[in-house]
Amino acid sequence: MAEYLVTGGTSFIASHVIKTLLEFGHYVRTTVRDSGDEEKDVGFLWELKGAKERLKIFEADLTVEGSFDDAVNGVDGVFHIASRVSVGRDNNNLEKFDPNISGTMNVMNSCAKSRNTVKRIVLTSSSTTIRYRFDATQVSPLNESHWTDLEYCKRFKIWYGYKKTLGEKEAWRIAADKKLNLVVVIPSFCIGPIPSPKPTSSPRIFLSIIKGTRGAYPNFRGGFVHIEDVVAAQILAMEDPKASGRILCSSSVAHWCGSEEGRDMPHSLNTTKIHELGFASFKSLPEMFDDCIKCFQDMGLL
């Protein structure tokens, strides 16, 4: 069995990846910023099946150089999921972002130091690095060869897409520079059950919409994807020798009605590449939202 590092163990996506890797019998390391932080409560990770025998938790911060060295040292591959730019955060703030300090450089430097064992890095990017373009409708279906237009992001103040695009480009630059084997998974808006005690990220946004605490629906048109499909895509990207480059991971494109400009451009996404790697089919919108709502109900959040 392999030993993998999954960065950002408390995150929505990473916690699911950890859960599945443990179920498959792998050894898993993960990083959190503060393992003693009661507010974040990493305790749920220890409750995952196989965690007590095969999980190790390290402390690491993306802003601290060398912080990931110990966690990376000796693993077979790294799922880099922790991010200083995350869904529902940093949306209104461009000034603070510098792709050089996104932290990806720190993780990739640690991988370069452990290049004897680290065979591949799978980075989680976002479909916002592809879909924000003035010509999105005309050139659809959009695929892995398309990139978001930073001028479009500036025009409509889409800072999440802006930062994710610069961040992914920086990762490719570092990979080329340091000759690292990088594969990038590009999920759309992820929905599904949560393993953590509190929703973060996209499930938290969805919960605020259905509880009415958000006030209004976002005027967002985009791809949606079940979290289990994102996990399957991540593991495929790590373990299939044929996987390379960017891999789009998305089910249907749908529209939440609202009034914000720029986020509702009609478009479609082409997922031929992941299907050619053997990925069978994506779960539907009703499946992902039903699973998420059921989880919220079971947790007493609805």
Ligand X SMILES: NC(=O)c1ccc[n+]([C@@H]2O[C@H](COP(=O)([O-])OP(=O)(O)OC[C@H]3O[C@@H](n4cnc5c(N)ncnc54)[C@H](OP(=O)(O)O)[C@@H]3O)[C@@H](O)[C@H]2O)c1
* Chain contacts with ligand X (rule: CB under 6 A): 8, 10-14, 32-33, 40, 61-63, 81-87, 103, 124, 126, 164, 187, 189-190, 200-202
Q: Nearest approach, Cβ of 294 to ligand X (angstroms)?
A: 18
Three-state DSSP string of 222-268: EEEEEHHHHHHHHHHHHHCCCCCEEEEECCCEEEECCCCCCCCCCCC
Q: Could you say which DSSP state residue 286 is in? A: H
Between 25 and 41, CB nearer to ligand X: 41
Rounded CA separation 101/82 (Å): 13
Between 116 and 143, CB nearer to ligand X: 143
Between 84 and 113, CB nearer to ligand X: 84
Q: Nearest approach, Cβ of 217 to ligand X (angstroms)?
A: 17
- Helix, strand, or coil (residue 153): helix
Q: Nearest approach, Cβ of 179 to ligand X (angstroms)?
A: 24
Q: Nearest approach, Cβ of 17 to ligand X (angstroms)?
A: 9
Number of CB atoms found within 10 A of residue 234's CB: 27
Number of CB atoms found within 10 A of residue 135's CB: 13
Nearest to 30 by CA among 141, 107, 140, 112: 107
Q: Nearest approach, Cβ of 44 to ligand X (angstroms)?
A: 12
Between 158 and 190, CB nearer to ligand X: 190
Between 164 and 221, CB nearer to ligand X: 164
Nearest to 228 by CA among 252, 274, 192: 192
